[in-house]
Structure formats: C-alpha cells, structure tokens
Amino acid sequence: MGEDRQNVIIINGNQCAFEPGETILEVARRHDIDIPTLCHLKGATPTGACRVCVVEVEGAASLMASCVTPASAGMVVHTESPKVVAARRLVLELMLASGNHNCTIRGADDGDWTAMQLKVMQEDQAEVLCPVWGDCRLQDLAFRYQATAQRYDRAETPYPQELVNPFIVRDFSRCIRCGRCVQACNEVQVNNAINFGFRGAALKIVAADDRPLRDSDCVFCGECVQACPVGALVEKGVRYRVRPWETTRTRTTCSYCGVGCQLDLHVADGRVVRVTGAEDAAPNYGSLCVKGRFGFDFIHSPERLTKPLVRDGDQLREATWDEALDRVVQGLAAVRDSHGADAVGVLCSARITNEENYLLSKLARAALGTNNIDHCARL
C-alpha cells in the first residue's frame, strides 16, 4: 500500500511518514535520523529551551527547534547543514561559558590546564576536572561540534554548592538551566519540589523558598539527578570517587518491593557504587524511588549476615546451613505437634522475589498446614 503523501516530510533527502501531531524530532527519531537534544526529556512537555535541536526547514525564515515544531506535509528538513552546525556550535559555546564547565574542550593548545580550569578545581576542592567528566551530554556535544568556548568569558555563578543534602549535591555553577530536572520532578514524578526561581542571570532552580532540598518537599527519588545532562546534580556518594569509565553496568530488578523496577547497577572493583533506572525497560522506564536509587549500602555492609546463626542459650553462634535448617524443622514441627498448625505463622518479605514468596506460601499452607502467612515490608 502506498504511503499517504499528505503525511510525509523529507529529512536529509529521506521520505519520512509522520502521524498528525508529531514533531520533527519525533519523526526523525522514528526514522533513525539523529538530531541532538539537551533540554528535551522523554515523556515530558517539550519546552524548546536549549535550541540544540535546531534544524533548517526550507522556506522558513529562521532555524526551528525540532522538538517543538510539528511536522507538516511537504516540509524539507536538513538536520546537519552548515547553518545548523554553526548555530549549534554557538549555543554550545554560550552554555560552556555560562558556568564551571572545565572539561577539556575549552581548548588548551599547550596541553596544560587553563587558568579557568585550575580556578574551578580550586572551587571544587578537587584535583580532577568536572565530576561528570566522561558522562556529560554537554561535553559530548561540545566534542561533536568542536565548541571550545574560547570566545566568551566564563560567567561567575553567585550561588555556592549545596552539599548538605543526604544523597544529592547541587552545583549551580554547572547548571545550564535546561529545565529537565524541573520537568522530571513536576511532570514525571509529580513531586513538585523544585522550580525555576529568580530572573535573568540570577536564574536558579529553587526548592521551597530557596531552601536546600533536605528542607523542602523533595523525597530524594533522584529523578532530577538522572535527568540532569551535566554536573549540576550528582549523587553524593559517587562524586569525585569513581569515574564513569571505571564502572561496568549490570541490569537487575530492584529488590525493595513487588513492582519490579528495572535498574542498572554501576560496579567498580566489585562494589556497587551507583544505581540508575533503566530508561528502556518497563515498568519504571528510568524512574526509581529513594530506596531503589540510593538504598544500596546494605550490599557491602559488614553487618550483613553471611552465615546462618543458631542460638545456644543466650548466645548466637555460626552454624552450617544443614544444622540451621535442621533446627528450623525441629522447632516448627515441635510447635505444630504440641499446639496445632495455627500456632505457627510465616512472615514473607516484599524484598524477595515472587517465586520465593510463592514457595513460602507453599511451605506454610502445604507443609505446615496453616494459612497464617503475611509479609512485613521492613524485613
């Protein structure tokens, strides 16, 4: 069946069918044509704030932000024309100059770090460049478009870093005001804890009357951290401790509740150092709660039980699994035989798998003969 010519646009010479209401960006992505974005957050209302996604539309008076421009029949679009590339480079240079973006693309021809980079490191009290070096969308795009930001002086940021929060460091000097964190908080998680505050050069993302996150409605789900394309929002535990290329990722299922959120464990030296939500997988599509994202200390806790313990009088001592399981069998059988099966109860856990909970249900009902089975979310 031939395509409906009414609903076709041409992108870089390719005929691309579109659905009514789709933006140029959506059509391009559906046809595997890459248009870079910065402020665009999947699942949220496009804002057109950053202008990185501009494209040239033949006949249009100016470049257009593809994330907010609806496709219309017959459009002829160029995504990497000289005009587009120059505009993107300019936008990126201005962003690089808007704060402490001290990654190497500032163009140190002699190979040394520049005075600006050294000054920023002093402010950061760190001996390495930006904490998200190698994991920064702005840096990636600066390399791609060879934006060096040497043309503009760096703007000083009037706001100090916010280090008091339990899980998140806010570094306003690295914020590019893309608004992704605001959308992640207000549109994706619907926590409404942060928003834009102040005006002009003083613009800042604020929480609860410009108080730290810990004193606001923030629930530390970390959705904003995952949405931040630069180093303005960083997990406290990983900042300046581990570089992204030192980690490997393992996809797994969160063990905190029965929703089954998919997450990626970032592992360095055999230790989990960071957790991010899997953006391409149901049911959470990148979102996590505070426990799923930040509650992984227990994995390497020295207090964690690694061997079974049995009680001898007032003392607990290590035992083999065979001995411990024998004790359990004897204890349960003794209670059941002397007081009846309903004298026994079984507590499962929301932190084990469905299969394990199913087996416990079988153990309670079929083996022990009781329907006293429940779960405790805190186990």
CB of 204 to ligand FES, least distance (A): 19
Of residues 65 and 238, the one with the C-beta less far from ligand FES: 65
CB of 163 to ligand FES, least distance (A): 29
Of residues 78 and 375, the one with the C-beta less far from ligand FES: 78
CB of 138 to ligand FES, least distance (A): 12
Q: What mask, x for binding ligand FES by CB under 6 A, covers residues 308 to 347?
A: ----------------------------------------
CB of 44 to ligand FES, least distance (A): 11
CB of 69 to ligand FES, least distance (A): 9
Q: Are 99 and 154 in contact (CB under 8 A)?
A: yes
Q: Is the dihedral of CA 105, 109, 115, 118 positive or negative?
A: positive
CB of 23 to ligand FES, least distance (A): 9
CA dist 337 to 110, 117, 334, 369, 374, Å?
A: 83, 75, 5, 11, 22
Nearest alpha carbon to residue 23 among 65, 80, 76: 65
Helical residues (DSSP H) of the chain, grouped into ranges: 24-30, 82-96, 115-124, 137-144, 180-183, 223-227, 290-294, 321-339, 354-362
CB of 178 to ligand FES, least distance (A): 7
* Rg for the chain, CA atoms, rounded: 27
**77 membership: H or E segment, kind and range:** strand 76-78
Residues 9-68 that bind ligand FES (CB under 6 A): 37-40, 48-53, 65, 67
Strands 315-318 and 309-312: antiparallel
Residues 63-82 that bind ligand FES (CB under 6 A): 65, 67
Q: Is the dihedral of CA 257, 263, 266, 267 positive or negative?
A: positive
Give the integer Cα–Cα distance in Å for 82 and 54.
Answer: 12
CB of 39 to ligand FES, least distance (A): 3
Of residues 78 and 214, the one with the C-beta less far from ligand FES: 78
Of residues 47 and 148, the one with the C-beta less far from ligand FES: 47
Non-local (6+) Cβ contacts of 223 within 8 A are 184, 185, 188, 189, 191, 286, 287, 288
Of residues 52 and 364, the one with the C-beta less far from ligand FES: 52
- Sheet of 271-277: strands edge to edge? 248-253, 262-268, 271-277
Of residues 52 and 193, the one with the C-beta less far from ligand FES: 52
Q: Which residues pair with 376 in a beta bridge?
A: 349
Q: Are 47 and 39 in contact (CB under 8 A)?
A: yes
DSSP assignment of 144-172 equals: HTT---TTSPPPPPSS--B--SSSEEE-G
Of residues 53 and 273, the one with the C-beta less far from ligand FES: 53
Of residues 123 and 187, the one with the C-beta less far from ligand FES: 187
CB of 97 to ligand FES, least distance (A): 18
Q: Given the rule CB under 6 A, which residues bind ligand FES? A: 37-40, 48-53, 65, 67
